[in-house]
Chain A
């Protein structure tokens, strides 16, 4: 069965370190998204991609970057982790159009 996976599921890191969160989908979807979810803020879009070599900034992109070298993967990099980036991160993918976004299980990141 097709699926979307995220790794690691939990991560503790220190302020200033570079961190990369992996997202892999086997649906062959063109669209991929990264969100963060925080109490009081809901799901907020960080970056998104509509295909290979395409990346776009979302609502809360400062301090984050993504690259899309193939259809299946969209890794999210925190260049220099900050305590404000402690959050739960979700990756999602979809086909173009008003179609369902399929979400991964999430990565819980703690920055100390």
Chain B
């Protein structure tokens, strides 16, 4: 079993839709849960991250972590064409290790 599983999509939604992007992971040591966004032919950029279980909101984006089920979610409200990108989850254990384990990424297209 891979450490981080993410459905690669592609996912296509109409503008204004609520988008749900998800990952599962197997390593119980993961404490920080990052979401990166990658536009076509660009490097990934950090979108947001959470620590341990719970929710975190940043504008139209909400990150949710359920450590009991090892499930990570990113919700996008009122999706915009500018949200069209690949979204990568990247859990991270901390504890002196600074390596990220990336999911394969989900490619999202928001259609005007």
> Hey, which bits of chain A sit against chain B, CB under 8 A?
31, 33, 35, 40-45, 48, 50, 58, 90, 92, 94, 96-98, 100-101, 103-106
Contacts and interface: CB of A to CB of B under 8 A. Distances in A.
Contacts of B92: 98
Interface residues of B, number: 22
A41 B2 CA distance: 11
* A contacts with B: majority SS: strand
Contacts of A101: 46, 100
B87 to A, nearest CB: 11
Contacts of A50: 98
A42 B104 contact: yes
B46 A97 contact: no
Interface in B22-43: 31-32, 41-43
A41 to B, nearest CB: 7
B65 interface: no
Contacts of B51: 98
Contacts of A104: 43
A25 B66 CA distance: 35
Given A43-B105, A45-B99, 5 more contacts: A33-B99, A43-B88, A97-B98, A98-B51, A100-B46
